[in-house]
A and B are shown apart, each in its own frame.
Chain A
Amino acid sequence: MLIVGIGNAFRSDDGVGPFVADALAAKGLPALVHAGDGTGLIDLFETHAALVLVDATRSGAAPGTLVTFDAVAQKLPAELFHYSTHRFGLAEAVETARALGSLPQSLTVHGIEGGDFGQGMRLSDPVKAAADALIEKLCEISRPNG
């Protein structure tokens, strides 16, 4: 399994994906930060059977709200994940891969609602708390036999 954090670490809560991925990588788990537009994600779908993606959402929900999608079973709402890149983002990448028949066997997408998308490298408190909880959860499911 590969865990991929998406977002811009210089845009406050938009950096929650990279924050989670970095924390998991530091614990020795297979996690990386994806930089650049969404097309590179489709390349990862081809080389990994199971992926977990973590990104910030901007839906108007309370900051720190976690939403989880089984992206193989359901379409990803583009309006939730439009903030990480303006050109070709996570939802575009997943739905393009679905149209091409290139989705991995397992694809889970965790979205954490951001509150502050201004310049800065600090997560707001509710987003940090949600990130910490997700890190713990992903640690558990990533453990061998876990």
Chain B
Amino acid sequence: MSERVLQVDALARVEGEGALYVRLKGNEIEKVEFRIFEPPRFFEAFLQGRDGHEAPDITSRICGICPIAYIMGASQAMEQALGVAVTPEIHALRRLIYCGEWIQSHVLHAAMLHAPDFLGLHDAIKIAEVDPELVKTALRLKKIGNSLMEVVGGRSVHPVNTRVGGFYSAPEKARVKALLGELEWGIEAARKVALAFSQFDFPGDEHDYTFVSLKDPDTYAICEGRLVSNRGLDIAVETFNDHFFEEHVARSNALHGRMKDGSPYLVGPLARYANNYEQLSEGAKETADMCGLGRVVSNQYKSILVRMVETQYALEEAARIVRDYEEPKPSFVETPPKAGEGHGCTEAPRGICYHTYKLDGEGRITHAQIVPPTSQNQPQIEADLTRVVTANMDMADADLQWLCEQTIRNYDPCISCATHFLKLTVERN
């Protein structure tokens, strides 16, 4: 029986070092592996013995694309361990900078890295030649995200103004208010990009996913809420480890996250959208409707549309916070050291990012656990690849490989995060 091997040694347009390996014997799949060979980074180990206040800045270095997810999750966990609560004004400012990260991350992935897949283009440079206006719009949108990060966080990559308890200094009111014009332009621009992308030819691949996300009754959850799923899960963040686990697999330097019953689950834009559709703004819901999206989207290739709907939402939400903004006084709450245990969970652009820490009497970290979204999505990525290869067995190798890579890019995987992982191999027997 003939053997086919599809292999991509270094996946393009993903963050970090990963590979894909598929081996087929006749029409039987022998192996489908999403391999992460980015070296392990041991953050949880070297946090031990450090002052709890250092955790947000240290963990933010896990990722240059989504540092806010780490800063916020670690800060929440420390604040819980130390028994302090931040003021509503500080919470709003945190939501504002998190909107900046969503805008920056979603626009970069959707327009520059994922859209070329649907246009049959190999890279973002070609997309600038084919549709320069789209790229100009995307770059301007992304710049809005960068500006939010700079004004609130002090700089656009690895912000320096954030701390446990709040912010070192309150961003100046005039600088924050000056963001409003671009935010308002961005809301309509994000819709136009979403509508342009909705004309793409999407592979038909509907799947009944287990969607896991945060949920808050009052707002589209970003840094607040309980952990819920579309299958009835509804738990406090503190009980994460009672319902989910991580395991080592030989093919990946990133742990694989699963539900306690061993099943894979999906985190990220589709999960948030399915669980929290009601909390979206009317404008974002209207854009989703204009793009032909239903109340639940179960085709991961359409995650590009949900990312743009979420981008529009983040722009609207940022504009709302900016309009109401007054400099918080004080800009942080005091966080004296003490022994304790804390948990934090926020919605990174790619999905939930969970942190838990234990502190000794001097506030030093004795235990740290960080569960980033790409680790959690890996088993689902492999399940998606198996389904896509099974359904498209007759495709020529080059086309099947392209589709497999696209399937992985649906997830906007952040390999640096997951190794705190991409490379493709398809073998046919």
Contact = CB atoms under 8 A, between A and B. Distances in A.
B128 A99 contact: yes
Contacts of B139: 39, 42-43
Nearest to A119: B39
A85 B15 CA distance: 8
A99 B132 contact: yes
Given A35-B158, A86-B14, A43 B143 contact: yes
B157 A96 contact: no
Contacts of B136: 100
A35 B14 contact: no
A87 B15 contact: yes
B259 interface: no
A50 to B, nearest CB: 21
B135 A96 contact: yes
Contacts of A92: 123-125
A87 B142 CA distance: 15
Interface in B119-168: 123-125, 128-129, 132, 135-136, 139, 142-143, 146, 155-158
A99 B129 contact: yes
Given A39-B139, A43-B143, A87 B158 contact: no
A37 interface: yes
A96 B15 CA distance: 19
B113 interface: yes
Interface in B320-340: none
Chain B interface size band reads 20 to 34
Contacts of A113: none
B140 to A, nearest CB: 9
Contacts of A55: none
Interface string A57-75: 0000000000000000000
Contacts of B14: 86-87
A35 B64 contact: yes
Interface string B1-44: 00000000000011111000000000000000000000000000
A87 B139 CA distance: 15
B138 to A, nearest CB: 8
A36 interface: yes
Contact of B113 (A87, A95, A96, A99): A87
A43 B156 CA distance: 13
Contacts of A30: none
A40 interface: yes
B194 interface: no
B156 A88 contact: no
B156 A36 contact: yes
Contacts of A86: 14-17
Nearest to A96: B128
Contacts of A39: 108, 112, 139, 142-143
Interface string A83-109: 001111000100110011100000000
A100 B17 CA distance: 29
Nearest to B111: A39
Interface of B: 13-17, 64-65, 108, 112-113, 123-125, 128-129, 132, 135-136, 139, 142-143, 146, 155-158
6 contacts: A35-B156, A36-B146, A36-B157, A95-B128, A96-B125, A101-B132
